[in-house]
Structure formats: structure tokens, C-alpha cells
Amino acid sequence: MSFGQGGPQSQWDPWKPQSQQPWSSGGGQSPDWAALAEASEARNKRRRLFLVGGGALATVAIGAAVAVAVVSAGGDNQANSPTSQVPSADIPSESASAPSFAPTSAPPPLDPKDFIASAKKDTAPLSPDALFPGTQLTMGETTYKKGPTADTENCASASGGTLPKILTANDCTRLIRVTYTRDGIAVTVGVAVFDTEAQAAKAKSQTNKKSFVKSLSGGGVKGFCESGFCRTTSNSYGRYAYFTNAGFTSGKDVTTKDTEVFATGDNLQLFTFRQIHRRGQAQASAAANG
């Protein structure tokens, strides 16, 4: 029986445990040492490539681990923030660094009426010429000539009708008078002075058609309104009550048709109001600048 014949020869690989090296039964062939050397060299080459590739992968893995560690060290929220974003805790906000100041405003202007409301504040010099300066008065296109003036602390002596009692009851301290004339019409203005605004207002409220200041004549001004009918007015402003008594220097009675007499009385009472107000303005201005 022969065993020399059979299937194909098996391939032997020195690195595979299941492979077998073919041997001839008759003392056969010797091993192919050149093939064995080439196989060993190929095996060593593959091993070197594996080691090199493995080192590169290890370097990438280490770098990735370092990057993860750096990102993780900054906190979860920092990883997704844009690089231009600056944490608010490092730099104060604009509102925190900018100084703030309380809004300021100029004080309100002083009220002139406050300075003529009581004797305590109304301390400017007072006289007929201070209230009624100059020798004439022009209002619009009309000019009035200034006549005599008078000043007394006895208010009742310079008033008539029901006015003396009213002025006395409300403690009038002074009564200043002045007369203006134009074309046969004369008007006497009387300014009664009180300590308080309340006294002046009360005195004015108590007047009636029979309350008047006495007309003031002399210095070229004929007597007027000493009898008959004249037109009278009464008002108050601050601690002052002021009155007018207008009529004809001829002694003629005044009627409702005598518009010039009414206009003259209205102009003079308006001028008196303005002069009292200017007195308050002057004192308010002096206090503001003082």
C-alpha cells in the first residue's frame, strides 16, 4: 500500500498553530529557510506598522482627553459660549461704573405777593412818591397830571362815609393819598395800609357805595367831590386796600353817561395795583439776589 499519493500538499505557516509542515516519508525535503526568513520579516514589518499606528492613535486620544479636560475645567456653560463673550463678573456693567447724581432743578422764583402780604416781610421804604413817582402818569395815549399828595397815620381822618369805621375796626395803620387830573376830571387815590393781608381783605369786603376816601385838592387843583355824586371804587391786594374817588372839578354830578370819569377812575386803580405789585417784585428780586 502506497502512501505517497493523496490530496494536495498542505500550506505551512510558521505563525499558525494549526498548520503543519510537510515532511517526506523517505527522509524527504529539508525546510525552505529562505521562505521562513521572508515570512518572519513580513511579520516584523506588520508589527512595526501596528506599533506606529497605535502610537498615533494614542497621541490623538491623549490630545482629545486634554481638550476635554480643558473644556470641562471652564464649566458646562463656558463650552458653548462664543469666544468674544466676556463673563459679566469680570467687568462691571456700565450702569455700575458710571456715577449717578440726583436730578437737580432751579428753585422756584419768589412770589412778589409774599413780600407784600405782611408787615414783617414788606419792609421797603414806603411814601407817596415811592408809590406814585414823577409829575405825571401816561397810560396808553392818555396823560394825567400829578397833583397834591398826603400821608397820615390817622386813617379815619382822610376817609368819609362808612369807610372811617371800617378802617379803624381793621387796624389801618396808614393812609396815603394822591390826586391826578385831566381835562376837568380829577381822581383821588387812597391806599390804606394794614399789618396783614387778611385785614386788608376784610376791610375791602365791608365797604359799600357810601365808603370813600376824601378828595384831595390844592396845588392848582380845585376842590371836587365835596358834595354831590362822584364815582368811587374799592379793592385790595396784599396788605393794602386801595380806593378811588373820581369826579368833575366843576362840581357837576357824575352820571352813568360820563364814561370819561369812569375810564379815569379805572386807569388810576389799575395803576395803583401795578405799583403795589412792583413793590413786591422789587423786594422778591432783592431777596433772590441777596
Sheet with 231-237, strands from edge to edge, namely: 136-139, 142-152, 174-182, 185-193, 240-248, 231-237
Alpha-carbon Rg for the chain in angstroms? 61
Please report the pLDDT score of residue 260 as a whole number. 96
DSSP 10: P
CA distances from 269 to 16, 28, 102, 172, 253 (A): 138, 159, 47, 19, 21
At 7-35, the pLDDT tens digits run 444 454 544 454 444 444 444 455 555 66
Neighbours of 238 (CB within 10 A): 24
At 219-241, the pLDDT tens digits run 899 999 999 999 999 999 999 99
Q: Is the pTM of this model over 0.95?
A: no
- In angstroms, the CA 243 to CA 212 distance is 7
Confidence at 110, pLDDT banded by 50, 70, 90 = confident
Q: Left (φ > 0), alpha (ψ -120 to 50) or beta: where does 137 sit?
A: beta
Confidence at 1, pLDDT banded by 50, 70, 90 = very low
